[in-house]
Structure 1
Amino acid sequence: MPVPTVFDPSTLNAVTVAMLIAGMAVTGLVSGTLAGLLGVGGGIVIVPVLFWVLGLLQIAPEHASHLAVATSLATIIPTSISSMRAHNKRGTVDKDLLKLWGPAVFVGALIGGGMAMIVSGAGLRFLFGVVGLAVAVNMAIPKTLVIAAHLPQSGLVNRVIGAIIGLISSLMGIGGGTLSVPTLNAFSFPPHRAVGTASALGLVIAVPGVIGFIYAGWGIEDLPPGSFGYVSLPAALIIAPVSFFAAPLGARLAHALDARTLKRAFALFLAITSLRMLLG
């Protein structure tokens, strides 16, 4: 018999449904805490977990990858707002950097969301795994790669950096910290300030990314009930509120830990989730 590609609610009993809801809630708790702690928007947890859950629901892998990325971006919107506010209270959101990078990051993320129409599910998983592992290795080594003592002086170079971060982050379903934090560290940016600013960049990435994925998935058949384009509204509505309220906890932890601990935590979570995505 062919494997169904559309979720059939009749195949799940009450216990299974309760377990799935609880799993989404736990995902929100962990992702929100990580968003505040690492400025990553929680996508490094949400994307692989959603891909796994959608697989259990017998959603076609090609659709599952796009649904996981798009839904992750949707949940990042409220989480980033919560995390950004918490970091801003501590003065670790660099507003000058936001003005410099923000517009380019936005444009890059919008392009990335639109590219969902041509990038395959396997391509999205491969990108997540390879980029994630590269960043994890960079963060785990004793001495983080340092390119310069400050950000480039050229406005054009900074805009190119921002656009690349926005593009790749959107396609990976992450909030920007995965790329912006190590990039800022490479230019000798203070670690806590890099994390705080990354939480704000997550919002700049998530909004246009979601728009692109909704457009790319509009009218696609065989998506699960409650899908808005490639965004799964039921999953987003469970994860987002929990993640929103957990983000301030992560922000408090970020200021209680030293920079080395932050880097190791970032590298560990990123390596585990990246390997899971590469292995399928």
Structure 2
Amino acid sequence: MSAEEVVIHHQEGESGSPTLSLVEKRERSHFGFRRWKNRLAHGLFLISTMIGVIVLGALLWNVVKDGWAWVTPTFFNNFASRLPEQAGIKAAFWGTIWVIGLTVPLTFIFGVGTAIYLEEYARKNRFTRFIQLNISNLAGVPSIVFGILGLTLFVRLMGLGKTVLAGSLTMTLLVLPIVIVAAREAISSVPNNLRLASLAMGATQWQTIRRVVLPYSMPGILTGVILALSRAIGETAPLIMIGAVSFIAFTPGYALDAFTVMPIQIYSWVSLPQPAFQHLAAAGILVLLAMLLSMNAFAVFLRNRFSKDK
């Protein structure tokens, strides 16, 4: 035993209080250093968070200041124009609603269906692991690649042209990996005892999935859908690749009509030199944010409701 490890017996001092041993002093010093590192990490994380919040707040304030006065009924009722006082977002607004309205059911059906197959039906072998690995990798592929794929597959090979349906299918390909990954994680988190109990009571595998697995995993699935739609509603590059125009003087009436969306219209206004178009772009950003927050709020409401029903 070394001299440093020898415990010094407590000795009574003049004050009558025992002195600390060498081991106790070292332990207190070690704990103090760990507490100091914890406070330092807490401070760094707090500063990082506040920087992001401050920058976001500054951007939102700048957008609200420049665009709030331009969000008027005329702004929603007019089409794009070369004259700022007559320009509006009507075509882009309804085009966005059409694209997202078709993307949501396609993404949910194909995304959740794929996740159910991979988790509940597919055998766990090299082939399924290969598929799962590639799906995870697709979630990080740049959006322009999906735009090229949509142009080749939907616009040219399938002959859909530059239509709402082609745009919705392209956006579905873009966000599908996100939904599949989130849905697989949610489904795999369901306790296996619930499945076995349902099967033991005579339920089929599909009845077990529909009445036990899906209700339990729906909050996690909806979280993935929220993230996917948040990305889809703001994407521009894939839709530009398939030929979405920046100026049309009509609203889409069918899935095979030409279209434009708000991100493309906002980008078109920002690129113009007149200051008034910068205000129109800010107003378009406010409308896009309001639409995004409304969609997310509805999805969060559904998620919380399913969470309470579990």
Higher RCO (CA 8 Å, separation ≥ 6 residues): 1
